Every structure is written in structure tokens, then in C-alpha cells.
Amino acid sequence: MQDLIKKANKQALENLQKAQPTLIGIGVALKDIPNMDKKTILHAGPPITWDNMSGPLKGAVIGGLIYEGLASNEAEARTLAASGEIKFEPCHHHNTVGPMAGVVTSSMPVWIIENKAFGNLAYCTLNEGLGKVLRYGAFSEEVIERLNWIEKTLAPVLTAALKLRGDIDLKSMIAQVVQMGDEGHNRNKAGTSLFIREMAPYIVLVDFSNEEKADVLKFMHSNDHFFLNLTMPACKAAIDPNANIKYSTIVSIMARNGTEFGIKVSGLGDRWFTAPAEIIDGLFFPGYDKEDANPDIGDSVITETTGIGGFAMATAPAIVQFVGGTPQDAIQYTTSMYEITEEESNAYKMPTMNFRGTPTGIDIQKVIETQILPIINTGIAHKDPGVGQVGAGIVRPPMKCFEDALEAFVELMASEGMID
């Protein structure tokens, strides 16, 4: 049995190492995301009903409905959301990922990433910036206005610029930013800067007013996390070929919807293994504390699933206050992740670790055996809709997800007569 598992896991890692996530353009959710329709709202994490959604996710859904013109105010939106007329589905069921609430509605522009090694696609919305934003559950007028601006100005300008620029190889770009102090989840400063550098020469050439072009550049510049929404679908595109590899014990998805944490395992195909999401132990912005925090939320943990984010903490000394304060602590965190992963990344190398590749490919057997849970860097959302981010920190998935997955895997193997 172990031989089969080893072989399958090796295959999974080979897929991951071979992946070539590439930015090929910007599309529209309805048109580009598979099986999308006007009454469908995608959200982060495993499946969830309206009733069970936490504050920020409900807020984002309300905002989404208003943005789409399906409702004109909060009350209408709530009624509609509860009516059963709207379909709620995980982004992950549509080759998509969304940060925090992760709400995607039909009119939203989305990045399109192609994994050139396999030809599969992945999608993600454009990052809205900081403060009051939809992904943290805000739905006030300014939020909707910004969404409209993204649709009407940001996306068209970038689409045009991208056409001039051509495809952008995100794998080598992420490899660079990992060497520039980004871990790809909580720090995206280097990535955002690099992306602006790549795009600026083409943005100035496109046929829009100077004011619009300046607004686009300013918008990207004012938001350190702009690149996160490219890193995430790049990771998604890279790991999707592992969605169903028989006998593999490698984790293919980790995601949270603000109520539950869910994982999928390659050898178990489409099954989610969920458990209540945890409250994040982190640093809170002044005026907020643990009481204000929503349980863990967002698809951004796809970064850790593919071996960056918290797994690459050692490369991001600038944000070590999240993990205890010293660069040494960060190195300890990264080092511990090698104990539960299958390989070291052949592309993402960390200078502080003597250019060792990031720990990549979580094996559920190793997690259970060592009791070391994956480490996740993440932002913390306020539990009430519309307040926004209240802090950042680290969190680990519930052990139960991995225990249930292991049990299911053993049962499956037994039912197939592979083991006693």
C-alpha cells in the first residue's frame, strides 16, 4: 500500500513542480467561469447555506446582490438571499478562489490564469484594496461604487495593457517575490510592486484618459495586497491537476468560509472534510481584540496548500511580529513545515533558508503522525459585516479535518480491498 501511496504522491508533487501558472487575461465571471449564471454567487471555503454564513460572508453576499442590481437595499438583499432563489456555491467548485468572503457574482471581472503545463484555468476577482471592501462584508455605497469602477475602468485598462504586454509567467514572478521578502499571503508588497513595474509601460500606452490611467496606477500602488489576487489563482491553477489522483494522500485544497474549515485530499477526490473554523490568534489593530474577530475565513490558504504563505514564513522577516517576533521564530515555523510536506519547491527558494525550496505538498499521514498542523498566515475579519479587517495573525486548521480525511482514506482503501 505504501508503495502505491508513495507513487501517487510523487505524481502529485511532480504535477505541482511542473505547473506553469500564467496570467493570460481578464474576463467576466458570467462568461468565463464555468457553470456560472446570474443567480449564482460563489463564496470562499466549503459549501454553506445562507443561514449558517457568518457576518462578513453575509455582508458580502448582500453587497454582491446590490452590485448586480438584484436587490436595491440590504433588506431586499437579505430576503432574496434567504428565499432559495440564489444558488450559493464554493469558488473551488468553479476553478475559482476568493480572498476572505470570496464572493464572486456574474458581472465581476476576473483574472484568468492558465496552467500552461496542463492547460487548466483558474479565476479570481481583482483585489478591491483596503478599508471598507466587499471581501470583508462591507456593502455601503462606496463599496458598490468601487466595484463599479473596477468593472468600468480598472479591468478594461488592465485588459488593454495586458494585450500589449502579453502573458505574464506568474511562477517566475512568485519565485522572485519570495526572494524579495513576500511569503505570498500576508505580505504582497514586493509582488504588487513588481506587477506595477511589469504593467506600467503598457498602461501608459493604452487608449484611455490620463486620469483613468493614473487612477489605475494609484489604485494598485495604494494596495499592498493587489498581487494576492494573482498569487491565489496561480496557486489554484497549479494544484488543480491534483484534484483526483488515486491513492494520493496529498492535500489538494484547504479553504474556509468563516464558519467551517474544509480540506480536500487528492486521493479522495471531491469530498470535503470540514470542522468548525477557529478564531485566529493574532495581532489586532488598535481598538480591536479577539472578541471582535470572525472565525477563520477565505480561500487564500490555497497559498499554504501549494507551499508558500505561512510555509514560507522564513522568507518574510518584515512580518515576523505575527509569529512571535524574531526572524528565528519565522525560520522555526518554516522548518517545522518540512516535517509534514513531501518535497521542497524547485522554484520558490528562500534566501534566509540558504535558498532551500519552500516546503511543498502536505501529506495527511505526516500531519497525523507528527501532530504538526499546517501553519497559515492570514488576515482577521471583523465578525460584523462591513467593518473590515481588524488584524492579522497565524492560524492552524482543525485537526479533525485531517483525522476524518485519514479515516475516510483508510476506509476507501479497505473497501477496494487494498488493505485489511
Partner 1 sequence: MNKINELFSKDLKVINMGLESFHKDLKSQDVDSIQMNWRPTAGGNEKMMALLARLKTKK
Partner 2 sequence: MIKYDIRKNAYYDSVTLMLISKEIKTIDGVTEALVGMGTELNKELTVNLNLMTEQLNEISANDFYIAANVESEEVMTVVISTVDELLTKKKVESGSEYQPVSLNAALEMQPDANMVVVSIPGKYAEEEVNKLLDNDLNVMLFSDNVSIETELNLKQKAVDKGLLMMGPDCGTAIINGIPLAFANVVKKGNIGVVGASGTGTQEVTCLIDQMGAGVSQVIGTGGRDLKSEIGGLMMIQAMEALMADDSTDVIVLISKPPAPEVAEKILQLTKKTDKPVVVDFIGGDHSIIKSVGAYPCTTLEDAALKAVALSKGEVPEDFDGFAVENDVIDNIVTTGLSKMKPDQKYLRGLYTGGTLADEAMKMLGHTFGGIYSNIPLEPKYELKSLTELTGHVCLDLGEDQFTVGRPHPMIDPSTRSDRFVTDIDDEVAVVLVDVVLGYGSHLDPASEVATSIKAIRKNLAKKDKDIFVVASITGTVGDPQGLAESTQTLEEAGIIVMPSNAQAVRLVKAFMSKLSGGRYE
Instruction: Pick the closer one to partner 1 by CB: 232 or 340.
Output: 340
Q: Which residues, numbered 330-349, are part of the site for partner 2 (CB under 8 A)? A: 331-332, 335-336, 338-339
Considering only residues 117, 317, 403, 412, which one is a binding residue for partner 1 as defined by CB under 8 A? 403
Give all strands of the β-sheet with 297-298 in edge-to-edge order: 273-276, 260-265, 251-257, 297-298
Is 237 or 362 the residue whose CB approaches partner 1 more closely?
Answer: 362
Answer with the entry of partner 2, partner 1, none that 35 interacts with (C-beta below 5 to 8 A by kind): none
d(CA 331, CA 335): 6
Q: Which three cell numbers stand for residue 396?
A: 492552524
328 binds, among partner 2, partner 1, none (CB under 5 to 8 A by kind): partner 2
Q: Please classify residue 375 by burial: count the beta carbons closer than 10 Å to its beta carbon, then call 0-12 exposed, 13-18 middle and 19+ buried.
A: buried
Does residue number 414 form part of the binding site for partner 1 (CB under 8 A)?
yes
Does position 370 interact with partner 2 (CB under 8 A)? The reply is yes
The residue among 130 and 419 lying less far from partner 1, judged by its C-beta, is 419
| Nearer residue to partner 2 within complex by CB, 332 or 346 | 332
CA dist., res. 177 & res. 182, Å (int): 6
Phi, psi (deg, nearest 5) at residue 203? -60, -40
Torsion, CA 65, CA 66, CA 71, CA 77, rounded to 10: 60
Of positions 365, 384, 396, 412, contacts partner 1 by CB under 8 A: 365
Question: Residue from 163, 328, 410, 416 that binds partner 2 (CB under 8 A)?
Answer: 328
Q: Is 416 in the site for partner 1 (CB under 8 A)?
A: no
Query: CA 155, CA 161: separation in Å to the nearest integer?
Result: 10
**1 scored as a contact of partner 1 (CB under 8 A):** yes
Beta bridge partners of 122: 113
DSSP string covering 120-140: EEEEEEPP--SSS-GGGT--S
Q: In 74-169, which ranges are continuous DSSP H helix?
A: 74-83, 141-149, 155-165
* Interaction between residue 410 and partner 1 (CB under 8 A): yes
Closest CA to 99 of 200, 209, 184, 211: 184
Nearest distance, CB of residue 335 and partner 2, angstroms: 4
Task: Work out the number of other CB atoms within 10 angstroms of the CB of residue 142.
Answer: 12
The answer to whether the CB of 279 falls within 8 A of the CB of 288 is no
Quick note: the x/- pattern for partner 2 over 104-133, rule CB under 8 A, is ------------------------------
In the list partner 1, partner 2, none, the entry touching 82 (Cβ below 5 to 8 angstroms by class) is none
Question: Quick one: which segment of 1-9, 181-189, 190-198, 329-337 binds partner 2 (CB under 8 A)?
Answer: 329-337
Q: Which residues bind partner 1 (CB under 8 A)?
A: 1-2, 5, 365, 368-371, 403, 406-407, 409-410, 413-414, 418-420
Note the residues at the interface with partner 2 (CB under 8 A).
326, 328, 331-332, 335-336, 338-339, 366, 369-372
